[in-house]
Structure 1
Amino acid sequence: MAGYTVYLDQVFIGNLVMNYAILWAAAKLARIPAKKWRIVAGAALGAFYSLALFMPWKTFLLSVWFKCAASVIIAAAAFAPLKLKSFLVSLGCFYLASFALGGLTLGIIFFTHSGRVVSYNGVGSVVAERFWPGIFLGLIALWVAGKGIACLIKKGSFDRLFRLNLLIRSGGEQVNAEALLDTGNSLKDPMTRHPVIIVEYAVLRPLLPREVQVCFDKEGEPDVWGFLGSLGGNRGASRFSAVPFQSLGNVNGLMVGFRPDEVLIERQGQFVRTGKVVIAIYHKSLDPGGGYNALLSSELLTPVS
């Protein structure tokens, strides 16, 4: 049976390059600020693990549970410390980038091979023969695909896939809002634990009582606590609350929360009612381009009968 020669330094360096690209792509996808030396450290761990194939006890090292453990260690080396949710997102992006780059590289290697492959050793020979061209072209393909998708997103080509029309009703009045589906919006009302929809004040104004309009029509940031304190025992005061939030440059933000009578989401040409929600009133514009004026949590896409 014909064999082929494997150079461990080539395997190590090749995997180091690929792992760096994978971790870098995962950091970009998960929007995690990762330092270069941390990515190099994670990539090096992955490259050492790739040599497990050539160890006498490789069956143990290549088991599914050990691969999962190795993935967690590699991601932790590159991205930790993170909150559990953020770390799981980064781990998922790590797997996504791994499968994408691995599939591209192997696809290119065998696409550019014109002969027949009739055995396992034949597969290894083809990979060894075209190892570096496959990695190089795979990295280029991944970079081009990433740039292309980023360009399409920037141009708004996918916007309609993530935009939904809302109908908000309160006190016999109703308004429409164009909502962007925001997977990062996990805000909860601290009092009721109901999910929060962020909506611009300009859209909600017809639904709001005079006291709210006076508060938001003033220049500058709304005085949330001052407004809530001014309500006292007024009828409808129970509809309002303070909704804390965090954003870039604002770690202790507050918005006025408003509980409407009903919120409906347009799905496939029909409006379906959501569960109980809180509307957080945002005094500025959410989108400078005017494409949307509300941010909707994916948690609210399950209709209520």
Structure 2
Amino acid sequence: MYIEYYIIENLLINYIIISCTSILIKKHNDIKKKLAGALLGALYSVAYLYPALDILFTVPFKVIIMTIITLICFTYSSKREYIRILFVFYLVNIFISGSTYFIIYFTGIDHLKISFIIVCAYVSCELLKYIYRDIKMIRYIKDLRKTVTIKLLGQNYNCEALLDSGNLLKDPISNNDVVIVKSSVFKNLLPDILNYDYNDMDIIKIEEIIEKLDDEISNRVRLIPYKHANNNNSDIILGLKADYIEIDKQKIGNIVLGITNFNDEEYSAILNPNILSEV
């Protein structure tokens, strides 16, 4: 029975590490690929239980296994991009392993308790996300405009986006970053609701809009509260959960699209700088 718990423990921890890497590099990857990589890591960890297989835990073999895992879990368009993915994967492994064992040592709790070690790995992942984000945000962003491809319900929508440091909106439930997008971008998908003033939304109007949407779209609706500068009153933006967005050939998941009617002929979307700084 012990070996079954051991495999489950390592499977979950490896999945957390792979998911954390995906979040840090803002790389959209399939859950099946993440599970495949996590399973390979879990099976590899079983060799720890057999002293005769110590050779598998020399540095060259560890590098080979981690390379195979990243090749399984992530897609890349160049050697430089793959090296970046591999570097972040190593960073996440080192940070989560080190911080997890520190927490175990500091608390004195038996590290064989599966639930506790998984919680430690998850907490370490969350901490690393904040540290990594702050480091990346220090970097000076030169290009203020990007061509963005939005994937929503299997369809692609291309638009020019402006980087705006004033857009730090997040979905309060999922904490996903929000990209502000003109409603006209989705005129083929949402032809019946383009006449609404999305800059002046309230619960009643949003309920009217939801009633006109089919179930597949309405299930993606999010309500994003925000405040104008010098105004204490809270307003609401209608949001739609995207499949993902693509910037500079990088697929970025966990994005909410904030639908508005802002007037500008040169761009159709406003990017949260947290998104662009990770591309």
TM-score by length of 2: 0.47
> Which structure would you say has the larger RCO, counting Cα contacts within 8 Å and 6 or more residues apart?
2
